[in-house]
Each structure stands twice: as C-alpha cells, then as structure tokens.
Amino acid sequence: MGRELKKGGGLNHLCYELDDIEGQVEDAVADGAILAVAPVPAVAFSGHRIAFVYFRKVGPIEFVEREARP
C-alpha cells in the first residue's frame, strides 16, 4: 500500500453492501474468484461481517453485510 500512497493514491478495491454474504462469496468463488478473507465481523463496520475475494482480471472485491448479526 505504501507504493500506492507515494504515487498519490487511487482505487484500491471495490466494495459492495449486500444481504447474503455467504451466497455472494459462494457465487464469486464459483465464478473463479479466490477467497482471501472469509466472512468475519468488522469493527470498522459496527460488527457487520465483511469478506474479501480476489478476481485475477478485476482485483480485490470486498463484501459488507447489510445487517449485522445479533
């Protein structure tokens, strides 16, 4: 990341808010993505779960669960 900041920043990854994080991760992996981070609660998103997948032609994609689980 330091290299990108020295160049002035830019797009790092795309992020999508969604209802079914497990289903979206499964679909992404079925479409050829690599699972980088399985769904986990994120402090930065008030406990909403996040996941990261990586597509070779697109780069990293972050999924954020719309509703936090109790």
* Cα four-point dihedral sign 50, 51, 57, 59: positive
Residue 28 to residue 34: CA distance in whole angstroms: 8
Each of the 70 residues of the chain gets a pLDDT tens digit; together they read: 566 667 776 667 889 999 999 999 999 999 999 999 999 999 988 889 999 999 999 899 999 999 877 6
pTM recorded for the entire structure: 0.81
* Domain boundaries 12-65, corresponding CATH code: 3.10.180.10
pLDDT at 4 (0 to 100)? 64
pLDDT at 6 (0 to 100)? 76
